[in-house]
Structure 1
C-alpha cells in the first residue's frame, strides 16, 4: 500500500499564520501544511471528508479512526482528542480512556464497521499519530499489539507544542516514530526503518523544578512496558508532599507499573523491562534514615556500602534504565554538618553513576544539555 503524506501539521499548519510564539517564529511560513494523507491506490484521504469507495470499512474508538481497505490493510489515524490552535501555557491532563469526539476524525458519511467492537485491537500496517498529544499512547498501542514490528508509525498533526524541528526529530527517534516531510510517499510493504540504538543507562541531573522528571518520562513514553520506581516517602502527614506525590502519579501513563522501594540494587539486578528511577536524591535521604546516619558514626559506613552496592548493580544492569538525580553542586554550602554530608554523598554517587552511564545530561529550565564524557 502506497501512501502520499501531503501534510503533517495540525490546523492551521506549522508555523501557524499570525502566531507569535517562539516555535512558530523559528520557522519559515508554510513549513508544514495541515495533515492530509492519501492512500494512492484507493484515492482515500485522511481526515475523511466524504463517503468511502466500496469495500472500505471504518470504525472509531478510544484509539482513533481505523480504516480497513479491501485488501485487508489497516490504517489507524490516532488524531488528538482536541485541536491545538494555540500553544497551552503548560501541559494539561487528558482523560486516558475517554473516546475522542467522532467529528474530529471527519467520519461523517463513512461506512461503519459493525464487527469492530467484537474484533478488538488488531495490528495495523500504518499508524498516523499525534505523538505530541500524550506520547504514552504510542507505548500503550505497542503494549496491546496495535503497533507491531512491521507497523509504520508516522507523526502527524505537528505544531508549536514542540519548540523546533530538531527537537521533533529527537523525540521521534526516542519514540520510534517517523517525522517525515510534507510530500513524502511511503510504501507500507517496505521494511520499517530500525530504531536508533538506545543507551542502556541514562542519568538526568537538574535542580528543583528543572524539568528533569518530565524529560525522564519523555525518554520512555513510547515503550510498551515501563517500571516506575518511586524512592521517596508516600507523604504521611505532610499534605503538601502528598499533593506532590499524587501529581507525579497522575502524570504517569496508566499502563506503567510502579514500585515504591529503596531496594534499587535488587531491581537493577532483576529488571527485564525499562525502568525509571525518580529519584536518587530521595533515595539517599531514605538510606540515611534507614542507616541512622544523619549524625555520622557507623551509619555513614552503612550508607557508603549501600552506594557501593547500587553502583555495582547499575554497572551490570541488563534492562534500559533512566535515573533522575539532583545536581547538588550549584547551591550554597549547607549550614549543617548533616546537610553537607548528604550533599557530599549524593554528589559522589552522581559522579560514579555518570562514569558508568552511556548518556548523561543536565536539565535546566526545561532545556536539555548533554554532558559528553
Structure 2
C-alpha cells in the first residue's frame, strides 16, 4: 500500500492568502491544503482520505454508511478519523481538536482499537502531547509512519518546524511525497539524554522544556517550588503551569532531585533549579552563610553526580543569573553564586544546553 500526500497545509494553506504574518512571509515555496490519496499503485483519482475537510477544529465528514469507495472503511473517534484499507492497514488522520481541555487518558471506548497503526497523519501544531498519548496507548510504534499535516503559520519558520518534528519523532514531508507502508519508517535520531534550559523571567524557558517532552508517552514533572498556599499570585502561576501540562503526565513536588534522578524510570522535566536552590538554602539555614553554605554545596554536588549518572531522559529549567546587576544584599549574592556554579556544573554534564530569550531558543555549544 502506497500513500500519496499531495498537500500538507491547513485549510487556508501556508502561506495563507492575504495573511501578513512573519511566518507566511518566510515560508517558501509554500504548501497546499492537506490532501491524501490511497492506492497501490498511486494514480490520480483514487479515493481521498482527506479531501474537502472543514477548517481545523471542525467535524470530520463521513459518508452516511461509514464506508469509503473501493472497500475502505472509516470511523470517527476521539483520536480522529481512522481509515481501514481492504488489506487491513489502519491509517489515522488526527486533525485539530476543538478548543478546551485536552483528551483525557484511558478513554473507555478506545481500548479495543488500541493497537499499532500503520500510519498517522497528525496536526502536530495543535496539541503535540497527543503524540505522547497515542504512544502511551500503543497506537504509535516503531512500524508506524508518523507524518505531520495541516501545517501553517502556528509555527514561525520551517526550520523551527523541522526542529520540533525531530524532538517529537515526526516526519515533515514535501507536498507530493509518496510513502510506501510496506517499508519501515526512516530511523530518527535519538534525543539527548540530558538537556539544560536557561533563561530569565518570562523568557519562555518552561514552555520550551514542555515542548521538548510533549511527544513522550510517560513524563514525570518534578515541581521544586512552593505550592502557593497563602500566596494567591503564586498559586495562580502554579495553576497555569498545571493546566497546560498533558493530562497523562504525572507530577511530584519535591526537593530531593538527586533521589528522583536515581530512581526515575520515565523522562523527567525538572522545573526549576532556581526554586530548588531557594528551598535548599531554607532547609540548610544558609542565608546567613557559614556552615549552611557548605551544606548547600554538598546538596549541589549530590545533584550533579545524580545528573551525571541518570539513565532516563531529563530536561531541567534554570534561571540565568549572570546577566543582571550585582545583588545589593549578601544573601542575594550567595544565592546568585550558588545557582551560577550549579548551572555551570550541570551544563558541562549535559549533551544539550540552550538559552531562551524572548521565546527564542539559542543553542549553546
Is the structural similarity TM-score above 0.5? yes
The unaligned stretches of length 5 or more in structure 2 are 53-61
1:241 aligns with 2:244: no
- Tell me, in whole angstroms, the C-alpha distance in 2 between the residues paired with 1:361 and 1:55: 50
What's the counterpart of residue 34 of structure 2? 35
- Tell me, in whole angstroms, the C-alpha distance in 2 between the residues paired with 1:255 and 1:343: 35
Deviation at 1:54, TM superposition (A): 4.5
1:19 aligns with 2:35: no
The answer to whether the Cα contact below 8 Å between 2:222 and 2:270 also exists between their aligned partners in 1 is: yes
Deviation at 1:97, TM superposition (A): 2.9
Matched residue of 2:71: which SS? coil
1:70 aligns with 2:63: no
Aligned length: 344
Deviation at 1:118, TM superposition (A): 7.5
Matched residue of 1:324: which SS? strand
Alignment map for 1:37-186 (pairs within 5 Å):
37-41=36-40, 43-48=46-51, 51=63, 52-81=68-97, 94-97=100-103, 119-186=112-179
Alignment map for 1:348-363 (pairs within 5 Å):
348-363=341-356
Provide Cα deviations, 1:333-357, integer angstroms capped at 9, x if missing partner: 1111111100000000000000111
- Tell me, in whole angstroms, the C-alpha distance in 2 between the residues paired with 1:141 and 1:247: 24
- Tell me, in whole angstroms, the C-alpha distance in 2 between the residues paired with 1:231 and 1:188: 45
The answer to whether the Cα contact below 8 Å between 2:7 and 2:176 also exists between their aligned partners in 1 is: yes
Deviation at 1:94, TM superposition (A): 3.3
Deviation at 1:55, TM superposition (A): 2.6
Deviation at 1:198, TM superposition (A): 1.2
What's the counterpart of residue 57 of structure 2? none
Provide Cα deviations, 1:242-298, integer angstroms capped at 9, x if missing partner: 000010001100101111101100111111211110000000000011111111121
Please report the RMSD computed on the Cα atoms of aligned residues, expressed in angstroms: 1.5
Report the CA distance shift for 1:244/1:165 in structure 2 as closer, same or farther (over 3 A). same
What's the counterpart of residue 336 of structure 1? 329
- Tell me, in whole angstroms, the C-alpha distance in 2 between the residues paired with 1:263 and 1:298: 20
Deviation at 1:120, TM superposition (A): 3.2
Work out which of the residue numbers 191, 194, 198 in structure 2 matches 1:201.
194
TM-score (norm 2): 0.91
- Tell me, in whole angstroms, the C-alpha distance in 1 between the residues paired with 2:311 and 2:271: 19
Provide Cα deviations, 1:201-242, integer angstroms capped at 9, x if missing partner: 110000000000011011111111111100001011000000
Please identify, of 118-127 and 267-276, the stretch whose mean Cα deviation from structure 2 is larger.
118-127
Work out which of the residue numbers 263, 279, 301 in structure 2 matches 1:308.
301
- Tell me, in whole angstroms, the C-alpha distance in 2 between the residues paired with 1:290 and 1:296: 13
